[in-house]
Every structure is written in C-alpha cells, then in structure tokens.
C-alpha cells in the first residue's frame, strides 16, 4: 500500500481515467430514446450491440498495429478525440439505418479510445504492486462510469435536458480532458511497445536477476559444505592411525 500511495505515475493515471469516464453519459437515456422515440424492438437493439462489438474487434486489431509504432503521447489524445467523435455521431441518431451506422462507428472509435487508457493503466502500476494497482484503477473507472450514467439520467429526468443536449455535454466535457494529457509523466508517455526500456521488461529482468542472485549463495554454501565433509573424511583415518602407534 505504501508503494501505491507514493506512486506519482499511478495517481496521475487514476486522475485521467476518472476525468475521461465521469463525463455525463447517455447509456440509459439512449435505451429509452430507442424504445420510446424510435420504437426499436429489443431484438434490433441487440443487433445494434452485435454490430458495435464486431467493429470493436476491428478497432482492437488496429490498435495492436498502432501501439507498436507510436507511443502514448499521440495515442492518448487520438483516443480521446475518437471518444468525442463517437459521442457526436449520436446527434444523427434518427432512424434504424443511421443507428446501424452510428453504432458500428461507435464500436470502432470507442475501442480506439479505451485501449490507450488501458495501456496507460498497465504502465502506471508500480513494480511489485501490478495487480493491486491495476485493480485500483479499474475500480476508479467502473465507479466513474456509474456516476456518469447516473448524472446523465438525472439531467434528463430532473433538469429536462434533451437527449441531444446531453450528447453535446458528453462530447464537450470529454474534449476538455485533452488539456490534462500534457501533465502526465514523460516516463509513461514516451515509451512504445517495442521500446526495450518498458517498465514490464525492466521488471522481468530484475526478477530474473534477483532469482539468479538467490541461487548463487545456495550453490556456494553447498560447495563449502561438501568441501568440509571431504576434509573431515580425510583427516579421520590419520587420527586413528596415529592413535594405534604405541
């Protein structure tokens, strides 16, 4: 816990994740807009989710290519911009045809927005606390998403904000997060997946070195014990032969 509390990169990443995900969301308002206004059937809403998931797989493959050539300095702003574009697409969410196109594009863009943030979270975890640090950041992400949906639903229900006004608000507040990206530590932003100096690589090397360092003293100790036994075995007959001489 002390390592996590003292980790500046970890808390920088936590802050950025919270700002990105806490923007007033429209996931629940979108569902009621689909049902009450556009009269979509539950089956068609499931088809929309299937299309978005399929394009999301394409986005994951595309990010796998990009992350090998670029570091997080351009990838994070690009991901946030993709999130903004995905949100703005819902301004044209007026029919079944536009819904299919928008959900497909959103699946692609949201994946390209999500993966750089997950990459940042993985790199920001301190050595020796990788699992706990990443779990902490995912907890912050999930909590921010819940607050985002609650805030968006409250704005529509209590403040009578329209669905499209909520889309504008979500896109605008997400775009403001771009102002926080330059304040992230350079150690996180300037490394790519092909950089041999990545924290994960350093951690693996240190573990190998430490494990080999632990084995060496045990081998030296074993050799010393074996030498001591051999020495005692050669001296004992001499003592007995000396004692037998009158």
- Residues 191-231: tens digit of each pLDDT: 666 554 444 434 433 443 443 444 444 444 445 545 555 55
Residue with tokens 């946030």: 80
Q: Which residues of 61-91 are buried (b: 16+ CB within 10 A; e: fewer)?
A: eebeebbeeebbbebbebbbbbbbbbbbbbe
Residue pair 3/124 in contact (Cβ under 8 Å)? The answer is no
Q: For residue 191, what is the DSSP state?
A: -
Residue pair 189/77 in contact (Cβ under 8 Å)? The answer is no
pLDDT-above-90 percentage for the chain: 67
Q: Residue 2: pLDDT band by 50, 70, 90 thresholds? A: confident
Q: For residue 78, what is the DSSP state?
A: H
Distance CA 194, CA 67 (A): 8
Q: Mind listing the pLDDT tens digit for each residue in 78-124?
A: 999 999 999 999 999 999 999 999 999 999 999 999 999 999 999 99
CA atoms within a 13 Å half-sphere pointing along the CA-CB vector of 66 = 19
Residue pair 144/18 in contact (Cβ under 8 Å)? The answer is yes
| Res 238: pLDDT | 44
From the list 72, 16, 56, the residue with the least C-alpha distance to 193 is 72
From the list 51, 20, 56, the residue with the least C-alpha distance to 180 is 20
**Is pTM beyond 0.85 here?**
no
| Res 230: pLDDT | 53
| Res 192: pLDDT | 64
Q: Locate 170 and state its tokens.
A: 């979500």
Residue pair 124/1 in contact (Cβ under 8 Å)? The answer is no
């Amino acid at each position: 816990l002390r390592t996590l509390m003292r980790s500046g990169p970890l808390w920088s990443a936590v802050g950025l994740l919270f700002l990105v995900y806490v923007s007033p969301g429209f996931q629940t308002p979108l569902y009621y807009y689909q049902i009450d206004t556009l009269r979509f059937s539950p089956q068609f809403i499931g088809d929309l989710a299937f299309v978005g998931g399929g394009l999301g797989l394409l986005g994951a493959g595309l990010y796998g290519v990009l992350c090998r050539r670029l570091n997080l300095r351009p990838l994070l702003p690009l991901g946030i911009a993709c999130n903004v574009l995905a949100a703005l697409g819902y301004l044209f969410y007026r029919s079944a045809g536009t819904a299919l196109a928008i959900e497909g594009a959103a699946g692609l863009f949201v994946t390209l927005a999500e993966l750089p943030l997950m990459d940042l979270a993985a790199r920001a975890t301190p050595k020796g606390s990788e699992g706990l640090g990443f779990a902490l950041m995912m907890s912050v992400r999930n909590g921010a998403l819940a607050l985002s949906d609650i805030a968006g639903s409250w704005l529509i229900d209590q403040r009578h904000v329209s669905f499209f006004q909520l889309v504008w608000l979500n896109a605008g507040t997400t775009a403001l997060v771009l102002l926080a990206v330059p304040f992230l530590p350079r150690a996180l932003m300037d490394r790519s997946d092909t950089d041999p100096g990545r924290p994960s690589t350093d951690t693996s090397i240190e573990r190998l070195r430490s494990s080999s360092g632990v084995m060496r003293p045990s081998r030296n100790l074993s050799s010393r014990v074996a030498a001591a036994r051999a020495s005692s075995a050669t001296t004992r007959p001499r003592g007995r032969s000396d004692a037998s001489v009158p």
